[in-house]
Structure 1
Amino acid sequence: MNTIKGPALFLAQFAGDAAPFNSWTSITAWAAECGYRGVQVPSWDARLFDLEKAAASKDYCDTFKGEAAENGIEVTELSTHLQGQLVAVHPAYDTAFDGFAAPAVRGNPAARQDWAVDQVKKALTASRNLGLTAHATFSGALAWPYVYPWPQRPAGLVEEAFDELARRWLPILNHAEDCGIDVCYEIHPGEDLHDGISYEMFLDRVKGHARANMLYDPSHYVLQHLDYLDHIDIYHDRIRMFHVKDAELNPTGRQGVYGGFQSWVNRAGRFRSLGDGQVDFGGIFSKLTQYGFDGWAVVEWECCLKHPEDGAREGADFVNAHIIRVTEKAFDDFAGAGTDRAANRRMLGLGD
């Protein structure tokens, strides 16, 4: 067993143009003041991080880590959620997702995809330069518009989509292997990898690639009424990253899982600040500890009601209260009889 590291904070929801959220030095100082020991870095946000420099220069990475360390903060992982999304985009979402890309490739899906693949590979190289072991991303989606089987899906449609998704990701996974970095797909609605079965479909097509792993976020499982504790029992060998995020699902006679096109605050399924939702974090931390998860507990703040700075400060305390310092001895050691093999054989009636 291992003691889970933490608390850490995903900075994507906090980076901004106003101090202290507009520079690497000031945002890490703020995170430390909130009680965090680590931060997960959105690789696309130039206010905090220069991906091109990080991929090309270990000196840049050493300086980047050093500035955080001066504030008592470790870099836990890099994220390419936005770039990973663009590795596979169904044409229905071309316009919606175009803003995630560099201006030079917008409006050109093929160029945008090439750019996205290059971005993820650079982030993996940068992760190696930073001395990290895991990387957060999205899978993207080709089949997502057909997640509900109406109209009836033609035979082979989903299989073709997953074949193509695997084809696009396999070179990236191979680069991850070269870098010694686990690619951790956040299992998330809107992605083709949105539950255990879809992850298995992908994993089968990349031939069980050792670097194709999971980012576990129970909030997304609550909203699709999936057993998030059993999920750990099934996939613990592949869970290499953990987002600590709360959620609630309160279905009514008017709406349920799909939400009826309502805003977040009016949906049956809503993201909440830690402790305000329905997730059994005691059960989650216990299972992850039992299975030897040795990564970081990273708070991803998303809430339809609470102010983000309040959620961040409360989140650090919440994670600290749930991290289990593993024991080095059994609770009943005081009653040990100090027996040996001969005594054991006598107890079994086998003689000496």
Structure 2
Amino acid sequence: MEAKLGMSPIAWWNDDLPDLSDDVSLEECLRQSRSAGFTGMEKGRRFPDDPAVMLPILRAADVTLCGGWFSGTVVDEEIAANKDRILPMIELFKAVNAPCIVYGEVGRSIQGDRSKPLATKPRLDDDEMRAYARRMTEFGEWCAEQGVPLAYHHHMAAVVETEPELDAFMRHSGEGIPLLLDAGHLAFAGGDVLRAIDNHHRRINHVHVKDIRRDVVDSLDRSQQSFLDAVALGAFTVPGDGSLDFGAIVQRLADHGYEGWFVVEAEQDPKKAPPQRMAEIGHRELMRVMTAAGYTVETTGFPKD
């Protein structure tokens, strides 16, 4: 089985919490991640949107673009509006041969609002979830027809956060909307990561290997503290520095035949958790558990001519 290891630039620059950002260039971010062993990087705010500009940067760093976040609003906005907004991203991702676009639902979400406690997250009733899942399937099918599939990201403080919400979304949606499995977000939400893999492995097309610090998560007052408060307190970290058993998680994915990207997305204070050191810890732990699970990990980055 083959796998690729990538990172998210959120370890260097946090879009929602600018205070948790390193003053480093895109080139330095890519250099640090690549030196730790990662061959991919998801798109962040300092990436150019012109493929003619982006490709030389990726080539020089020997790094592949392995995904990137799209802030979707299908839950409460017309699909047509989302198509208009995502189409330039689809064209960019096709030009640089990126595998998928990470769909994050921000409609009704409180994930970026530090004034909203975790307990006030939006919730959909059964009819709303059914209708939303069907619209997401339609949108996912359209994106795939344009040349780039989506990967649906269940997320803290959003309409699909908990394991029961994820189960309902997956039950009412179709193959046209693949799943991004994020271990850290599901564990933060109180879900069983291994059970979710067993239940939904056929739809998983992208994996975020985000770890959590269980003591931080368990000490949160969810009636008072927000998702961003949790991030600032250090709720997330890289595999090998947190509380989740990635040996078991990676093995379960291997048992179901998952092949593709494993992406470290671990937003935290770069002053307390220097990104390059965190990248090295995460890569070392992932190589350990992936080798044990029988994966062959790709070691080359940008495709050679």
For normalisation by structure 2, the TM-score amounts to 0.74
Gaps (5+ residues) in structure 1?
A: 55-59, 90-109, 329-352
Query: Structure 2: how far apart are the matches of 1:298 and 1:327?
Result: 15
Equivalent residue for 1:126? 92
Q: Of 10, 24, 37, which residue of structure 2 is paired with 1:21?
A: 24
In structure 2, the residue corresponding to 1:321 is in which secondary structure? helix
Q: Find the aligned partners of 1:318 and 1:127 in 2 and give their Cα distance.
A: 29
SS at match of 1:274: coil
Q: 1:222 to 1:200 in 2, by over 3 A?
A: closer
Instruction: Name the CA distance, whole Å, in 2 between partners of 1:49 and 1:173.
Output: 25
Displacement of 1:237 after TM fit?
Answer: 0.8
Q: State the Cα distance separating 1:282 from its structure 2 match.
A: 0.2
Q: Identify the residue that residue 48 of structure 2 maps to in structure 1.
A: 49
- 1:301 equivalenced with 2:291 (yes/no): no
Matched, 1:224 2:189: yes
Structure 1 counterpart of 2:222: 258
Return the alpha-carbon distance in structure 2 between the equivalents of residues 326 and 66 of structure 1: 34
Structure showing greater Rg = 1
1:243 paired residue number: 208
SS of 1:242's partner is strand
1:170-224 deviation line (CA, Å, top 9, x unaligned): 5532322213433111111222222443234334544x1x231111111122222
CA distance in 1, matches of 2:127, 2:108: 9
Q: Match of 1:173?
A: 140
Q: Does 2:294 match 1:326?
A: yes
Q: What is the SS of the residue equivalent to 2:125?
A: helix
Deviations, residues 45-64 of structure 1 (Å, cap 9, x unaligned):
2x3121xx45xxxxx3xx63
| Range moving further from structure 2, 13-22 or 211-220 | 13-22
Give the direction of change, closer, same or farther, for the CA distance of 1:138–1:316 in structure 2 (3 Å limit): same
Q: CA RMSD in A?
A: 3.8
Do residues 75 (structure 1) and 77 (structure 2) align?
Answer: no
1:58-116 CA-partner distances (Å, limit 9, x unpaired): xx3xx633431332212212321xx22x4446xxxxxxxxxxxxxxxxxxxx79x9765
User: How far does residue 36 in structure 1 lie from its aligned partner after superposition?
Assistant: 1.7
CA distance in 2, matches of 1:291, 1:265: 31
> For residue 303 of structure 2, what is the aligned residue in structure 1?
none
- CA drift at 1:260: 4.2
SS of the residue 1:136 aligns to: strand
SS in 2 for 1:261: coil
Q: What's 1:35 paired with? A: 37
SS in structure 1 opposite 2:252?
Answer: helix
CA distance in structure 2 between the aligned counterparts of 1:327 and 1:190, rounded to whole angstroms: 33
Alignment of 1:128-147 (within 5 A): 128-142=94-108
How far apart are residue 117 of structure 1 and its match? 4.2
- Distance 1:71-1:195 versus aligned 2 partners, 3 A rule: same
**Per-residue deviation, residues 102-157 of structure 1 (Å, max 9, x unmatched):** xxxxxxxx79x976542223323332232233221212344989x979xxx9xxx7
Q: 8 Å contact 1:273–1:311 — kept in the other structure?
A: yes
More deviation in 160-169 or 179-188?
160-169
- What secondary structure is seen at the aligned counterpart in 2 of 1:216? strand
Other-structure match for 1:233: 198
Q: For the residues of structure 1 that align with 2:33 and 2:214, how far apart are their CA atoms?
A: 30
The answer to whether the 8 A contact 2:41-2:63 is kept is yes
SS of 1:212 mapped into structure 2: coil
Partner Cα separation in structure 2 for residue 248 and residue 180 of structure 1? 38
SS of match in other structure, 1:237: helix
Gaps of 5+ in 2: 111-115, 297-305
Q: Match for residue 8 of structure 2?
A: 10
